[in-house]
Structure 1
């Protein structure tokens, strides 16, 4: 029987091999021309094994395995912060987690997620899922109804600004974080020009 630590390491290596194969093939051939069978062959696994690790071809590139890290970061936020300080903490935490992860911060992955239409649509759905988790956290943290207009407007303004900045960036780097934090400052100041 394989020890649990070795089994987890093997799973992590297999996920990394699948991702590397998918990234390479899709970068060279395009998303539509790359098949699951090609990815599996390049990763030296069967296509059924690929589907044990990822539910679809899109998810190979989209999923980042950072849900637990994001949840942990949220639990470390001190209580009682005003809304914009809370937003800064969340944005900085999310950025730091993503930027420290080689897969999440991979520039070629980022380019493909923005340039391949199928991936861009699926990535938007994933971003919406993560955003909803953030909304639920902010609602609980502030004691504000999640479906209330004040929170919906606050989130809509923040997410629109963040998407605008992220979509204009060539990569997610320290400059992107600085721009995001300045944008939050501008929102807090009432959008001075």
Structure 2
């Protein structure tokens, strides 16, 4: 007797997809409401309650999507893409070529995202002291994560002085240049960042 075939359950995938779409729409609505209010009454003068009301969500829902008012602006939702990009890096690159690969990949991931590459977002982070502080904390966490990745990739210990000095030098230069970027979508920014890495590799000639 032939066992009847059971059709695949596609409803679970559809439900999961719809949930993700709903989450994305809600996050976008909260961000849009926040940016409208920041433009109207300033960042410091805007409360979480006002953002939630403008986005037509509850105070509880706001904190389900963002840990704080700062994170509405700072978070960019690109961690999964960055993780996938790290996993796809081929083995055997030298440390400067690895840095170039990371800068190029991460820059293009950000540029392709409307929120991450928003000039309004960039200007707000630059102008608001609280956001600059929050952004610096995020940058410090990113540097720590890159250090861990470099250690695993190169086989060096995380506390190896050579690795620490290399990461500190590169990140200092890269973040300094990135801080002057006005239009994140301008491809010339990437060329400048890579040229800075070239100068570091060549011994900082003047």
Alpha-carbon distance in 2 for matches of 1:132, 1:187: 20
TM-score by length of structure 2 reads: 0.90
CA shift, 1:106, in A, is 0.6
Larger Rg: 2
The correspondence for 2:192, drawn from 163, 179, 187, is 179
Residues 90-116 of structure 1, C-alpha deviations (whole Å, 9 max, x = no match): 000110111111111111001111110
Partner Cα separation in structure 1 for residue 183 and residue 133 of structure 2: 19
Match of 2:60 in 1: 48
1:189 maps to which residue?
A: 202
Cα deviation for residue 144 of structure 1 reads 1.1
1:143 corresponds to 2:155: yes
Partner Cα distance (2:69, 2:105) in 1: 28
Q: Greater share of helix residues, 1 or 2?
A: 1
- Paired residue secondary structure (1:93): helix
Matches within 5 A, 1:89-128: 89-128=101-140
Contact 1:18-1:39 at 8 Å conserved across structures: yes
Q: Name the CA distance, whole Å, in 2 between partners of 1:79 and 1:92.
A: 17
In the alignment, does 2:163 pair up with 1:155? no
CA–CA distance in structure 2, aligned partners of residues 171 and 116 of structure 1: 18
1:27 touches 1:112 (CA, 8 Å); kept in 2?
no
1:80 corresponds to: 92
TM-score by length of 1: 0.96
Distance 2:142 2:112 in 1: 18
Pairwise CA RMSD: 1.3
Shift of residue 22, structure 1, vs aligned partner: 1.0
- What is the CA-CA distance between 1:174 and the residue it aligns to? 1.0
Gaps of 5+ in 1: none
Runs of 4+ in 1 over 3 A off after TM superposition: none
Number of corresponding residues? 193
User: Which residue is 1:11 aligned to?
Assistant: 23
Q: Which residue of 1 aligns with 2:145?
A: 133
Query: What displacement does 1:148 show?
Result: 1.2
